[in-house]
């Protein structure tokens, strides 16, 4: 275990070093993609897996389960991810979000999240370690396409690894086993939500660029909230999107 943790720390450190040495929100209009040639190959691989395996399963999932059952499963998956939000809200000193997420996690624990006892009255901002790193001005780094996981930047990829490690450390082994069992369900659920977006991406003149643009814009809006909108070049983005139709 100690050897694994040492390797883990080295990997994360190297990923963060790849992120570069500068970061401020004024530079979020820029996109760093020095690995584009390799990224395109990974994108083509992921697209092939999606179209031939994940998409057919997702369609079967939608046609087999009623909407109420799918919503219940979606709520359960969101509940399972709340500890990640709780931990990172605390790291980011967002006390209100930490308290609300903790209360919702405990309340819906009575139904294992399959039914929202709060009836969606509480608004919680999802947090991850990637957003925590952004909070403390770690640069987002180059864009990456990760096999099976899809688009990330180096900051978010390292954050993803840390989140998985944190949850594994605080979760009982039985919960870890449940998480592993729910991975394919989560993949199918996410695919269902993004079906329209993915079709738009695949049908564009350059699907890779379209995917990169979609990920970067949405991720920056999520991480920086309203601050990003102040610096976003909307006219430039709209003109760029029209070229990809």
pLDDT in tens, 107-119: 999 998 899 888 8
Predicted local distance difference test score (pLDDT) of residue 178: 56
Predicted local distance difference test score (pLDDT) of residue 25: 52
CB 209 within 8 A of CB 244: yes
pLDDT in tens, 130-160: 999 999 999 999 999 999 999 999 999 999 9
Q: What is the DSSP code (8-state) at residue 117?
A: T
Is 10 contained in some domain? no
Is 92 contained in some domain? no
Q: How many domains does one find in the chain?
A: 1
The residues facing 150 across adjacent strands are 146
Task: Tell me: pLDDT of 50 over 80.
Answer: yes
Is 141 contained in some domain? yes
Q: How far apart are CA 213 and CA 127, in angstroms?
A: 21
Cα dihedral 82, 88, 94, 98 sign:
positive
Q: What is the DSSP code (8-state) at residue 34?
A: T
Per-residue pLDDT band at 41 (split at 50, 70, 90): very high
Predicted local distance difference test score (pLDDT) of residue 31: 77
pLDDT in tens, 17-33: 554 444 445 445 567 89
Q: What is the reported pTM?
A: 0.77
Q: At 143, phi and psi to the nearest 5? A: -75, 140
SS (H, E, C) 118-164: CCCCCCCCCCCHHHHHHHCCCCCCCEEEECCCEEEEHHHHHHHHHHH
Per-residue pLDDT band at 228 (split at 50, 70, 90): low
Is 227 contained in some domain? yes
Alpha-carbon torsion, ordered 3, 5, 7, 11, to 10 deg:
180
Is 78 contained in some domain? no
The whole domain housing 235 covers 32-64+128-243
Residue 44 vs residue 180, higher pLDDT: 44
Is 7 contained in some domain? no
Q: Which of 161, 103, 139, 112 is nearest to 19 (CA)?
A: 139
How large is the average pLDDT for residues 49-63? 92
How large is the average pLDDT for residues 205-219? 93
Lowest mean pLDDT across 27-31, 38-42, 235-239: 235-239
Predicted local distance difference test score (pLDDT) of residue 232: 57
Is 156 contained in some domain? yes
Is 231 contained in some domain? yes
How large is the average pLDDT for residues 208-215? 94
Per-residue pLDDT band at 225 (split at 50, 70, 90): confident
CB neighbours of 170 closer than 8 A, spacing ≥ 6? Answer: 83
């Amino acid at each position: 275990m100690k050897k694994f943790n040492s390797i883990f720390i080295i990997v994360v450190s190297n990923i963060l070093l790849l992120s570069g040495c500068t970061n401020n929100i004024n530079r979020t209009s820029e996109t760093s993609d020095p690995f584009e040639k390799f990224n395109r190959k990974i994108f083509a691989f992921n697209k092939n897996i999606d179209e031939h395996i994940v998409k057919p399963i997702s369609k079967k999932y939608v046609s087999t389960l009623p909407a109420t059952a799918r919503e219940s499963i979606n709520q359960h998956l969101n509940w399972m991810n709340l500890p990640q939000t709780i931990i990172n809200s605390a790291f980011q000193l967002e006390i209100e979000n930490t308290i609300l997420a903790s209360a919702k996690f405990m309340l819906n624990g009575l139904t294992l999240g399959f039914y929202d006892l709060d009836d969606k009255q509480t608004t919680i901002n999802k947090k991850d370690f990637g957003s925590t790193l952004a909070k403390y001005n770690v640069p987002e780094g180059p864009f990456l396409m990760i096999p099976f996981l899809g688009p990330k930047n180096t900051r978010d990829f390292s954050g993803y690894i840390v989140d998985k490690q944190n949850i594994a450390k605080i979760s009982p082994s039985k919960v870890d086993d449940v998480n592993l069992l729910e991975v394919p369900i989560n993949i199918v659920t996410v695919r269902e939500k993004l079906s329209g977006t993915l079709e738009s991406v695949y049908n564009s003149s350059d699907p890779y660029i379209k995917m990169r643009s979609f990920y970067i814009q949405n991720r920056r809006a999520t991480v920086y909230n309203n601050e990003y909108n102040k610096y976003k070049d909307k006219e430039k983005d709209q003109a760029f999107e029209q070229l990809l139709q």
